[in-house]
Structure 1
């Protein structure tokens, strides 16, 4: 065998090295492209969200002796490792102590410091500072400069609406609408409601630029206390006193070293709407004599069948689909009361989501903050962000009623008037009937039945033991819901109102797209056109609930054999 020269071997090795490097780069590039195709659109990087989230806290006042909660919950943000907290004045009282709940479940104690309010009617400028008690360092978010923001720049908020039954901050995104209004507030489109007061508004770099103060009656108009107002009165706010006039001693605001970077981010164009042929199907039906309107999503299944999913509690008898001035009869296939889903079928084929192309992955926490699009009827869309990953959404107790008047007569709570077609009437109860027991428990007095009714809620079915004349009888009653009058707060000014069924779901994710209650049943996609879930409820001013795609897929699998 003729030996190769050293020069030849080095040359050959170099050629192989070049080829190997090219192959690696090509493979890596394809891999990266594949990853980019799978990555949903984000306007705010996840790393920035995570840093901001760790410092965003929930608080409520506590009794100094018992430690029990004695105030409504509100929000705040830690802005220094020493535990300095920024919040708003209308939620605090100098010198008082407050329980602090962190996103990871840990708890602490904070003391309210300075509170600056020069107008007692409006609480303006609504500035307050607090301080964590105990040893740090504490997780914190950097303070930005409200002077360097500009209109239409991206922003986002992380705070705790009191209507949501979680100790997890709800992420909402928006834009700066006004850098400064006539009252000294920043206006943003990052929506808020009660409980969000004192929560932070962040710029695109994840720095605190404002604190949530109040909202307007119109959706999407929100007012924030500029962070520069805290900077300029910082030393005065570190003392636990009420300040009734603007301090004469001020602190230097300084300049923003990242102003140019923030300006460049502000010029970045928003994500384009994803391309898709899928749209919602308008559905009309009759429920309790009323016309009901809702949306639905069509799915093409593996057996060449098509099924339409919608919100079950909003679909009554004889449903029809209405598209392009044409109507198509729909047949009810199955109702899933647990998830409030209904499966419908039609002889007509609608633009549909292909079930086989839906990923088996659910909606993991790693997707927090991705941009979402709800596909509505007539090619309309609403966008928002994934604000909270899938959670078990508990039942929100609503008082139940017999829909009858009662008075204690001869030792028994006795029906004196029964509403026509009300709960008591439907159960066969009449005026003059005396209630002896509910679910086997003695309620034979006004005090006893009043105490017992506090344990039951609208929709509960009760066994009623009652006396009619000298005869003792039994029946079942399904309690109706009290027609509670909504608080006139602007947060309750929601077009089309809240969904009637908006709680008690096994798993839902939460977003801020402000869909109307009659737009439930519509599909949600990400920036790549991937199916994410189905809108199922308008819960509150800020929160919309959606069934995640893995739950939808499980439901589709369970009904496939019915087709």
Structure 2
């Protein structure tokens, strides 16, 4: 991997400066996490019910883990039916057929077995009886909102070794799709399987792996047990003494504040309004060395942020009592990025022109990341996946009007409260004449045109009220589908624009939507990108550094070219 140099204005820092803070060694924790990933990643599988008649997978994916050479797969009872056929997909894309074996619903434990002949990656079972409170653990499973066939990694710790219901409670975040996914100790052994969650992000409940040891004989038979089956004695863990708790892991955000006290100077608050709504987001200070002449950078600073959360007249908050206007230079709707300029010279900044951008590869998985926040706060997370795309979400854009054809005219017959149409003061009875210049002749014409647009896009409507034509420029919003599962009601909330990205990094940082727009670093100071969205309970997204660098360079090149076009002979010096 190329050697990375990160130059800030009169600042050069090294790995050792940031890797260790006080008595806590971030480098060691990161090394331990990455060793778990190396040992366990390939055995963590994606599972879908399989239709033997049509010879294709059916809906309803979940997770599991292969734990021996004969192909036994541990998962959750609420996802597995004895005797049913399933397709097992390994992280390398290889697929095999498996059959559901035993399940114990009251404990949510279940087992499958791969039917095809062959050898498979596997990771051994550990002992849940060896767990200690505050012991680090790692989850490798398939959250449904990510929609990837490669697993996403998350870091946590044991909050309770055994709840009243007999589960393990951990802080490894989970959501639908993760069910049956494995949680590992720091030796890379399975200690629990994802089962259920509560509203708090710290309430993630795992099926103890000792249950699979205890009821192994019953679980290897294709049956569902209403009562607990006959048990066997579980032997003691021969490596129990080697497992250590780590109380500091509960305070990583606090411990890491000194780790990023200089990097925090690249994160600022931005405030603006859009359609009467107040917006707040973070901005990332960048130093465009090499992209513009030094004279053009005098008394100017540039920031990146999340475009859909920045209005037309943003204000940059320099301190509690000081702020300055920011100017929008360019927007990139595909990546939801915006480049801003302020007529104020700020110290430091990420020197994009001098960074050697390395691609993020599989060997980077599990690296510790930090998201600096204004006020010297920082959020610690781990890199969960290599760059992937996030498909457009199921919530299409909408205006919030119902139309009907009356007397040859497409007329608004109802308006949804608190919708874009309501904010724009449209009224029932208004005639819709055109949408972005295209005539609306039938009620279905509007829906057809709308299908090409996404939430936060701005459209132009031509209407007529009482025979008087008028125009409205309206920002579309997402149509929220019914999402009743508790996973969609976590307190941090999700970003409005959180899908339809061509390439993003995933990490398990607990970012609030207003905390996006800021930078994402490794503990070695490597600039990974800009946090762009809170996708779900388990995942935050960042636009990779390579895309950031390209966007800023293109934006400033266009700005320079435009300035040259405006440089007329009347402005030029009187050369002799």
Q: TM-score, normalised by structure 2?
A: 0.79
Counterpart of 1:294 (choices 270, 274, 281) is: 281
How much has 1:325 moved relative to structure 2?
A: 2.1
Q: Given the superposition, is the C-alpha separation of residues 508 and 327 from structure 1 closer, same or farther in structure 2, using an over 3 Å criterion?
A: same
1:333 aligns with 2:314: no
How much has 1:44 moved relative to structure 2?
A: 2.8
* Higher gyration radius (CA): 1
1:243 aligns with 2:201: no
- In the TM superposition, 1:420-435 aligns within 5 A as 422=420, 431=429
- Given that residues 398 and 481 in structure 1 are in contact (C-alpha distance below 8 angstroms), is that contact kept between their aligned partners in structure 2? no
Partner of 1:220: 202
Partner of 1:17: none
Partner of 1:375: 372
Q: Given the superposition, is the C-alpha separation of residues 442 and 61 from structure 1 closer, same or farther in structure 2, using an over 3 Å criterion?
A: farther
How much has 1:404 moved relative to structure 2?
A: 2.5
Per-residue CA deviation, residues 223-278 of structure 1 (Å, 9 max, x unaligned), is 0000001100000111111101011x222321222222223xx3596686224413
- In the TM superposition, 1:311-460 aligns within 5 A as 311-322=306-317, 323-355=319-351, 356=353, 358-401=355-398, 403-406=400-403, 415-417=412-414, 422=420, 431=429, 458-459=454-455
Partner of 2:85: 97
1:176 aligns with 2:161: no
Aligned equivalents of 2:450, 2:52: Cα separation in 1: 29
1:73 aligns with 2:65: no
- In the TM superposition, 1:127-206 aligns within 5 A as 127-206=109-188
- Please state whether the residue corresponding to 2:133 is helix, strand or coil: coil
How much has 1:332 moved relative to structure 2?
A: 1.9
Q: Aligned residue pairs: how many? A: 517
Between 354-363 and 90-99, report the one with greater CA deviation.
354-363
Between 203-212 and 34-43, report the one with greater CA deviation.
34-43
Counterpart of 2:262 (choices 277, 290, 294) is: 277
Aligned equivalents of 2:506, 2:533: Cα separation in 1: 10
- In the TM superposition, 1:446-485 aligns within 5 A as 458-459=454-455, 480-481=476-477, 483-485=479-481
Aligned equivalents of 2:435, 2:556: Cα separation in 1: 45
Aligned equivalents of 1:232, 1:389: Cα separation in 2: 37
Aligned equivalents of 1:402, 1:296: Cα separation in 2: 29
- Given that residues 458 and 479 in structure 1 are in contact (C-alpha distance below 8 angstroms), is that contact kept between their aligned partners in structure 2? no
Partner of 1:527: 523
Aligned equivalents of 1:49, 1:140: Cα separation in 2: 12
Aligned equivalents of 1:159, 1:439: Cα separation in 2: 47
- Please state whether the residue corresponding to 1:553 is helix, strand or coil: helix
Between 220-229 and 356-365, report the one with greater CA deviation.
356-365
Counterpart of 1:538 (choices 534, 537, 554) is: 534
Q: TM-score, normalised by structure 1?
A: 0.81
Per-residue CA deviation, residues 403-442 of structure 1 (Å, 9 max, x unaligned), is 3324577999875335698569979997486999999999
Q: Given the superposition, is the C-alpha separation of residues 209 and 558 from structure 1 closer, same or farther in structure 2, using an over 3 Å criterion?
A: same
- Given that residues 112 and 240 in structure 1 are in contact (C-alpha distance below 8 angstroms), is that contact kept between their aligned partners in structure 2? yes
Q: Given the superposition, is the C-alpha separation of residues 58 and 453 from structure 1 closer, same or farther in structure 2, using an over 3 Å criterion?
A: farther
Q: Given the superposition, is the C-alpha separation of residues 132 and 427 from structure 1 closer, same or farther in structure 2, using an over 3 Å criterion?
A: farther
How much has 1:342 moved relative to structure 2?
A: 1.3
Greater relative contact order (Cα 8 A, min sep 6): structure 1 or 2? 2
1:209 aligns with 2:191: yes
Between 34-43 and 236-245, report the one with greater CA deviation.
34-43
Q: Given the superposition, is the C-alpha separation of residues 129 and 376 from structure 1 closer, same or farther in structure 2, using an over 3 Å criterion?
A: same
Q: Given the superposition, is the C-alpha separation of residues 439 and 324 from structure 1 closer, same or farther in structure 2, using an over 3 Å criterion?
A: closer
- Given that residues 437 and 443 in structure 1 are in contact (C-alpha distance below 8 angstroms), is that contact kept between their aligned partners in structure 2? no
Q: Given the superposition, is the C-alpha separation of residues 185 and 552 from structure 1 closer, same or farther in structure 2, using an over 3 Å criterion?
A: same
- Please state whether the residue corresponding to 1:62 is helix, strand or coil: strand
- Please state whether the residue corresponding to 1:536 is helix, strand or coil: strand
Q: Given the superposition, is the C-alpha separation of residues 285 and 553 from structure 1 closer, same or farther in structure 2, using an over 3 Å criterion?
A: same
- Given that residues 134 and 247 in structure 2 are in contact (C-alpha distance below 8 angstroms), is that contact kept between their aligned partners in structure 1? no
Counterpart of 1:513 (choices 509, 512, 517) is: 509
Counterpart of 1:261 (choices 242, 262, 269) is: 242
Aligned equivalents of 1:345, 1:316: Cα separation in 2: 14
Per-residue CA deviation, residues 370-426 of structure 1 (Å, 9 max, x unaligned), is 001100111111111000121233322433445332457799987533569856997
Question: RMSD across aligned C-alpha pairs, in angstroms?
Answer: 3.8
- Please state whether the residue corresponding to 1:243 is helix, strand or coil: coil
- Given that residues 395 and 481 in structure 2 are in contact (C-alpha distance below 8 angstroms), is that contact kept between their aligned partners in structure 1? no
How much has 1:558 moved relative to structure 2?
A: 2.3
Partner of 1:112: 100
